[in-house]
């Protein structure tokens, strides 16, 4: 039986100031900080995970915040937009909220059968709030600052900008298992399964400039697979197609393999397990700096290098 992709596991982007990043995604967008750890490949910087109540796969946006990082630019070979689900009745609330908080945004526009608000975080990362009838109450932070009936309900989709789609589309449809569902102009939509993160849009701009990865841009897109066995099957299958795939990497809360799709976007396939409650109880998620066992011996040095953070709703500065 062939391995399965279940949709988006998470999207990882680059930020500059970590406190500014937390303030925006928790206080403005109402996502929960479900894990505060470090970039395992560069422990001198945080790795911040935002999601729903417990960080279900398909709800997660993560950041590597490098203070004073220069601003990147969107272009081809990138995932340029991360879209979140909201209920149809939430549009008016979000227009008012973003306006009151002086957040750069564009008023709702119609696309396919959706209404879409485009906004930009403090580093210029492009985010969408997509109003649609299938927004699921299950994938929400019930104790967050946003009223439950209008709160974000997980990742809706990502948008890939490509100079040409000749290699990307066959990878999505013939190998990963996505199905074409809609097309308009230069935008084609593909879907796999149901639920959060089941959609990817591919936009072809053959005359555009390549993007530059830095603050305000997406670093990679991670797709879900259920477990380690299926991940190993994916690694073998992808290698057989000629793609260069990394060895399995232990990310503590999931296991990962990485490869670049033909258009240049960095893809990851991540396991659903073991999840973010591995080392913290539900009610304490994101409350303190968590390190994997192989970095614990360096905790004192790591904490000394990291800037202190204040999580909205708490009084103490902490790492």
Mean pLDDT, range 66-76, rounded to an integer:
95
- Does 313 fall in a domain? no
- Could you give the C-alpha distances from 292 to 66, 206, 234, in angstroms and in order? 20, 43, 25
- Does 1 fall in a domain? no
Domain that holds residue 241: 8-305
- Residues 232 and 143: their CA atoms lie apart, in Å, by 37
**Polymer length in residues for the chain:** 319
Token duo for residue 4: 């399965």
Place of tokens 């008012």: 96
Residue 289: pLDDT over 60: yes
> Residue 267: which CATH number?
3.10.180.10
pLDDT digits (tens, 9 = 90+) for 191-238: 998 889 999 999 999 988 999 999 999 999 999 999 999 999 999 999
- Does 210 fall in a domain? yes
- Does 53 fall in a domain? yes
Residue 318: band (very low, low, confident or very high) from pLDDT cuts 50, 70, 90: low
Neighbours of 260 (CB within 10 A): 14
- Residues 231 and 219: their CA atoms lie apart, in Å, by 21
Q: Is the bond preceding 274 in cis, omega lying within 30 degrees of 0?
A: yes
- Does 316 fall in a domain? no
- Does 314 fall in a domain? no
φ/ψ of residue 211, rounded to 5: -75, 165
- Residues 199 and 178: their CA atoms lie apart, in Å, by 9
- Does 310 fall in a domain? no
pTM above 0.95, yes or no: yes
- Residues 180 and 177: their CA atoms lie apart, in Å, by 10
Residue 187: pLDDT over 90: yes
- Structurally, the chain folds into a number of domains equal to 1
- Does 31 fall in a domain? yes
CA gyration radius, the chain: 19
Classified as helix, coil or strand, 233 is: helix
Residue 312: pLDDT over 80: no
Residue 315, pLDDT score:
47
- Residues 51 and 60: their CA atoms lie apart, in Å, by 4
Token duo for residue 113: 């059968």
**The CA-based dihedral angle spanning residues 221, 226, 230, 232, taken in that order and rounded to the nearest 10 degrees:** 50
φ/ψ of residue 141, rounded to 5: -95, 105
């Amino acid at each position: 039986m062939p391995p399965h992709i279940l949709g988006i596991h998470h999207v990882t982007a680059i930020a500059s100031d970590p406190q500014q990043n937390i303030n925006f995604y928790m206080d403005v967008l109402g996502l929960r900080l479900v894990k505060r750890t470090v970039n395992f490949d560069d422990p001198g910087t945080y790795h911040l995970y935002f999601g729903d109540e417990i960080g279900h796969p398909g709800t997660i946006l993560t950041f590597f915040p490098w203070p004073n990082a220069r601003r990147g630019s969107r272009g081809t070979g990138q995932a340029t937009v991360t879209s979140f689900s909201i209920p149809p009745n939430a549009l008016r609330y979000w227009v008012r909220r973003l306006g009151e908080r002086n957040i750069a945004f564009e008023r709702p526009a119609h696309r396919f059968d959706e209404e879409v608000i485009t906004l930009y975080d403090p580093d210029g990362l492009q985010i969408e709030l997509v109003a649609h009838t299938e927004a699921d109450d299950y994938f929400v932070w019930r104790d967050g600052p946003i009223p439950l009936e209008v709160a974000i309900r997980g990742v809706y989709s990502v948008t890939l900008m490509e100079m040409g789609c000749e290699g990307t589309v066959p990878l999505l449809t013939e190998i990963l298992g996505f199905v074409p569902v809609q097309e308009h102009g230069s935008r084609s939509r593909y879907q796999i399964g149901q639920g959060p993160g089941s959609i990817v849009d591919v936009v072809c701009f053959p005359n555009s400039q390549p993007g530059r990865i830095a603050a305000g841009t997406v670093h990679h897109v991670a797709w879900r697979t259920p477990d380690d066995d299926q991940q190993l099957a994916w690694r073998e299958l992808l290698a057989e197609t000629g793609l260069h795939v990394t060895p399995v990497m232990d990310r503590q809360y999931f296991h990962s393999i990485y490869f670049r799709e033909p258009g240049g976007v960095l893809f990851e396939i991540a396991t659903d397990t073991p999840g973010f409650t591995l080392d913290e109880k539900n009610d304490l998620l994101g409350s303190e700096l968590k390190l994997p066992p192989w970095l614990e011996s360096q905790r004192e040095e790591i904490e000394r290098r990291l800037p202190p953070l204040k999580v909205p709703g708490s009084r103490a500065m902490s790492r």
